[in-house]
Amino acid sequence: MRSSSNSAWITSISLAALALLVGPALSGPLDEPHLPIIPRTEAEAARISGAVRPTDDFTASERFEDLPAGAATVRVRNSADAFSDPSNNISFDGELKFKVGNGLFRKLWVSSPSSTLASDGLGPLFNARSCQSCHIKDGRGHPPEGPQDNAVSMFLRISIPDEAAQIAEIEEYLGTAPDPTYGTQLQDFALPGIPAEYRLQIEFKEIPVALSGGEMASLRAPTYTAADLGYGPMHPQAMLSPRVAPQMIGLGLLEAIPAADILAGADPDDANGDGISGRANIVWSAEFDMPMLGRFGLKAGTPTIREQSAGAFAGDIGISNPIFADPFGECTTIQDACQTAPSGAGDDRVYEVDETGLDLVTFYSRNLGVPARRDVDDPQVLRGKKVFQDTGCAACHTPKFVTHRLEDQPEQSFQLIWPHTDMLLHDMGEGLADNRPEARATGREWRTAPLWGIGLTGRVSDHTYFLHDGRARSLLEAVLWHGGEAQTARDTVTQMPPDDRDALIKYLESL
């Protein structure tokens, strides 16, 4: 459970649990208590092995390639609502539940006390008044474009090196703690009478990049500052990391990929010598009180959609819930007025969003449909697909998986999906480093972002800003920011014939 203390979250973990978290190697697949799994048969495993094998034929699209979410794939809308439809294979009752969850996802929370029953409890500190305020149209958030812009759908995570972690073996994975004054996340809004924590300030520096064929690109390198601090200085060793809200589609299918299949792709010591050494992030589940595979968040710091949703309620909106029960959200013990502010909990209302409400938002988030692919047989798209494979992009952006067979979750059960991610952590180089660890993730590592739906970003979000902080203004800029394990692939893109580079972008736009 999230705590206002900067070390209670560590002391609540037993030494045995720490050993599981930081062991040099995993002895086997991690437990997945959040999923009602029906084990695969040997025959199914053999079929799956053939279905996910990479293709070497680029003369035509692969079977089912136009259905990235399998039977859950939705039709493509020619509007900003392209990411807002439920799974295509959802039942009638499921669609009703989805719509109620959508209502909670869009609901604007108000401060307490209020005559608007069960809608109060906002803050006292917050980044947004609703889930939809950050995940606009269920797509990517809107980052600021310059020093004078407000931070829309963006905030800074904050932590400090944990001096309490005296055991050398655990420092790599649990070597950070909340800032004693500002917690783990900076909130730029507050209720009347309570100071906001900060104002996000951003400046950009343009970096020219020469490309083959006499072409040029320009990258904007951001500098972030937490200005107008409301509670005094941060810890002198505070580490800040920017976050733009990611798109919401396909989360339930990513959650349903077997942990064993994700771990099978990990190569932490680069044993095959290809320069790619993906690692799993193993995180502590506040819900299940055990180590689990991290899947969600930009550094794979959360294991399940439900826990991710609960964390967002608490950290982003200041709403207590069954997993993160503090009625004051992210307030620390130093922020007295914040901790003692009125809350929406009390009497018969234990949490500001209860078990039912959290489950509805989780169901909604799990079932936001992935739109169908476009132009899969276009010659330039097929050429770009080959460039994608030959350049090494698919080494991290794994095209295909087959999900678990699940009881009572037909929308996610046993689907061939095309998310283009391995769900692992990769060193992305100094240019993208935030220098802030998160569980096992180092300050240079990020989870491979799923690429499905990326070509519809402009339609849904009215911008084409990519990466964890929206610094890339186009898909090409996003590619050019890749470093570390992806440096070779990035350099290949800069040096390839312009027609191949155009084809690669055309392929990404078709996803």
Condensed to tens digits (0 to 9), the pLDDT of residues 328-384 reads 998 998 999 999 999 998 778 899 999 999 999 999 999 999 999 999 999 999 999
pLDDT of residue 175: 58
Total domain count for the chain? 1
pLDDT above 70 as % of the chain? 90
pLDDT of residue 29: 60
Tell me the per-residue pLDDT of 28-40, one tens digit each, with 9 for 90 and over. 568 899 999 999 9
Judge whether residue 165 has pLDDT over 70: no
In a domain, 392, yes or no: yes
In a domain, 439, yes or no: yes
Tell me the per-residue pLDDT of 265-292, one tens digit each, with 9 for 90 and over. 999 999 999 999 999 999 999 999 999 9
Exposure of 2 by Cβ count < 10 A (0-12 exposed, 13-18 middle, 19+ buried)? buried
414 with 51: CB under 8 angstroms?
Answer: no
436 with 299: CB under 8 angstroms?
Answer: no
Distance, CA of 305 to CA of 190 (rounded, Å)? 27
pLDDT of residue 289: 93
- φ and ψ at residue 494, rounded to 5 degrees: -70, -25
Judge whether residue 173 has pLDDT over 50: no
Q: In what helix (H) or strand (E) does residue 273 lie, and over which residues does it extend?
A: none
SS3 157: strand
Closest-CA residue to 166 (of 321, 18, 293): 18
Identify the sign of the CA torsion 422, 426, 432, 433: positive
**36-45: which pairs have CB atoms within 8 A and are 24 or more residues apart?**
36/406, 36/407, 36/408, 36/409, 37/404, 37/405, 37/406, 37/407, 38/404, 38/405, 38/406, 38/407, 39/405, 40/404, 40/405, 44/405
Tell me the per-residue pLDDT of 226-253, one tens digit each, with 9 for 90 and over. 999 999 999 999 999 999 999 999 999 9
Mean pLDDT of 58-68: 98
> 176-177 and 199-210: which strand pairing?
unpaired
Burial profile 225-234: b = 16 or more Cβ within 10 angstroms, e = fewer: ebeebbbeeb
Cis peptide, bond prior to residue 113, ω within 30 of zero: yes
291 with 282: CB under 8 angstroms?
Answer: yes
219 with 383: CB under 8 angstroms?
Answer: no
pLDDT of residue 10: 34
pLDDT of residue 345: 87
Tell me the per-residue pLDDT of 496-507, one tens digit each, with 9 for 90 and over. 999 999 999 999
In a domain, 1, yes or no: no
- φ and ψ at residue 413, rounded to 5 degrees: -80, 125
425 with 484: CB under 8 angstroms?
Answer: no
Distance, CA of 473 to CA of 483 (rounded, Å)? 17
87 with 72: CB under 8 angstroms?
Answer: yes
Q: In this structure, what DSSP letter does residue 31 have?
A: P
What's the distance, CA 143 to chain centroid?
A: 16
Angle at 333 between CA 330 and CA 334, to 5 degrees: 105
In a domain, 236, yes or no: yes
DSSP 93-148: HHHHHHHHHHHHHHPPPBPSS-SSTTSB---SEES-SSHHHHSGGGS------STT
Confidence of residue 148 (pLDDT cuts 50, 70, 90): low
In a domain, 437, yes or no: yes
In a domain, 2, yes or no: no
Closest-CA residue to 164 (of 3, 10, 12): 10
In a domain, 381, yes or no: yes
- φ and ψ at residue 476, rounded to 5 degrees: -60, -45
Residue 174 lies in domain: 8-510
Distance, CA of 430 to CA of 480 (rounded, Å)? 13
- φ and ψ at residue 160, rounded to 5 degrees: -130, 160
Q: Taking the model in full, what pTM does it have? A: 0.93
In a domain, 3, yes or no: no
Supply the mean pLDDT for the chain. 91
pLDDT of residue 117: 76
Distance, CA of 433 to CA of 431 (rounded, Å)? 6
Distance, CA of 293 to CA of 316 (rounded, Å)? 23
Tell me the per-residue pLDDT of 184-209, one tens digit each, with 9 for 90 and over. 999 999 999 999 999 999 999 999 99
Judge whether residue 69 has pLDDT over 60: yes
Mean pLDDT of 423-434: 98
